[in-house]
Amino acid sequence: MSDEDDLTLEAFILENRNVASLTPLMPPATLSERLPLGTAEAAFIDATRRDIGAIIAGRDPRFLVVVGPCSIHDLVAAREYLGRLRALAGEIADRVLVVMRVYFEKPRTTVGWKGLVNDPHMNDTFDIESGLTLARSFLLELVESGMPAATEALDPIVPQYFGDLISWYAIGARTTESQTHREMASGLSAPCGFKNATDGNVQVAVQAMQAARSPHAFLGIDADGRTAVVRTRGNPDLHAILRGGREPNYDAAAIEACVAALDKAGLPSAVMVDCSHGNSAKDAARQPGVAREVVAQRAAGQNALIGIMLESNLEFGNQALGDDVSKLRYGVSITDACIDWETTAALLRDIHAALG
């Protein structure tokens, strides 16, 4: 008899070999019951989604501006930013639809802080249930104040916890090529933009839009947290986002090339420009210049340009997270560098004037 004959199935660790622990989460329905959405706020979100869909389709002439911190890490500072942005958005609402960037999840090239949902205490404790609760609570504050919210759809489970509060989604450059994210986008209840790949490849975004407009069936969870087969209808309200790559891609030739690719694929001729990342060479101070050039193209008649994205915070720049969160400077990003509020306010007013 060989040694193998004495072994039992329990002797083999075939599952979860590299998993340290499994922590059950409350189901999405429980969080929604604890932090419910009111009727008036639901009507506001529905109307904003319809407005954004109309901008994508060319039926609404307003310019869409998605603006806010690169990531939300300090809810006190985020509330102050919200108050300022809400007042300014009201001033320019006749020509510009402002949606606040509220990013709770951050994709990382290697490792790093993954966002408020994943690590709300910024200390590697990964208290995700608290992160989801804080995120939903803050989103409720936004919609109650009359400010629509934009976020990146990163983890495919997370939208079940607060997707009813989101007016616009982005699929990032690192995930646009992912089948999982294309399928997820096909079932999102809000308009969604797909970024070009990190190297600048726009065709990846075009293919992603084609996929996300189609029905899909995939594994997910339902409101009670049970594993389910999710069957989607396809998302009709999609557009491309140019965020640069090895070279910027917000000039007139790049816009025209993107529109031609969309037209060839039978997709809406709707293009947003991300003024950060590759288009600003990762220099936050260049964002206003990118924005003004894009708006000048729109004012000159390039109606395929439906909007811009800006990374903006109370204060300019960014800072390292470090080991002591008490030493973080108030209103300064801990991920990508942002323009400050004064620059943001002046820029949005200039955009409003240029589109008059």
pLDDT tens for 192-236 read: 999 999 999 999 999 999 999 999 999 999 999 999 999 999 999
Token pair of 354 as six digits: 């240029």
CA distances from 226 to 27, 187, 220, 221, 257 (A): 8, 17, 8, 5, 44
3-state helix, strand, coil in the chain (%, to 5): 40, 15, 45
Mean pLDDT, each 10-residue run in order, the chain (356 residues) = 64 87 96 98 98 98 98 98 98 98 89 94 96 98 98 97 98 96 98 97 98 98 97 98 97 98 97 98 97 98 98 98 95 98 98 97
Residues 6+ apart with CB under 8 A from 247: 200, 278
Task: With beta carbons less than 8 A apart as the criterion, state whether 107 and 124 touch.
Answer: no
Q: Quote the CA–CA distance of 276 and 310 in Å, as a whole number.
A: 7
Q: What is the SS3 assignment for 151?
A: strand
pLDDT tens-digit readout, 79-93: 999 999 999 999 999
CA distances from 147 to 84, 288, 351 (A): 11, 22, 19
Task: With beta carbons less than 8 A apart as the criterion, state whether 197 and 245 touch.
Answer: yes
Based on its alpha-carbon atoms, the radius of gyration of the chain, rounded to whole angstroms, reads 21
**Exposed, middle or buried by CB within 10 Å (0-12, 13-18, 19+), for 158?**
buried
Task: With beta carbons less than 8 A apart as the criterion, state whether 281 and 335 touch.
Answer: no
Task: With beta carbons less than 8 A apart as the criterion, state whether 119 and 127 touch.
Answer: yes
Q: Beta-carbon neighbour count of residue 30 at 10 Å?
A: 15
Q: What is the pLDDT of residue 3?
A: 54
Kindly state the greatest CA–CA separation across the chain: 88
Q: Quote the CA–CA distance of 215 and 323 in Å, as a whole number.
A: 45
Pick among 3.40.50.2000, 3.20.20.70, 3.20.20.140, 3.40.50.1110: CATH of 24-354: 3.20.20.70
User: What does DSSP say about strands 217-221 and 227-231: parallel, antiparallel, or unpaired?
Assistant: antiparallel
Residues 6+ apart with CB under 8 A from 163: 188, 189, 190
Q: What is the pLDDT of residue 347?
A: 98
Q: Please list the residues that pair with 150 across neighbouring strands.
A: 101, 168
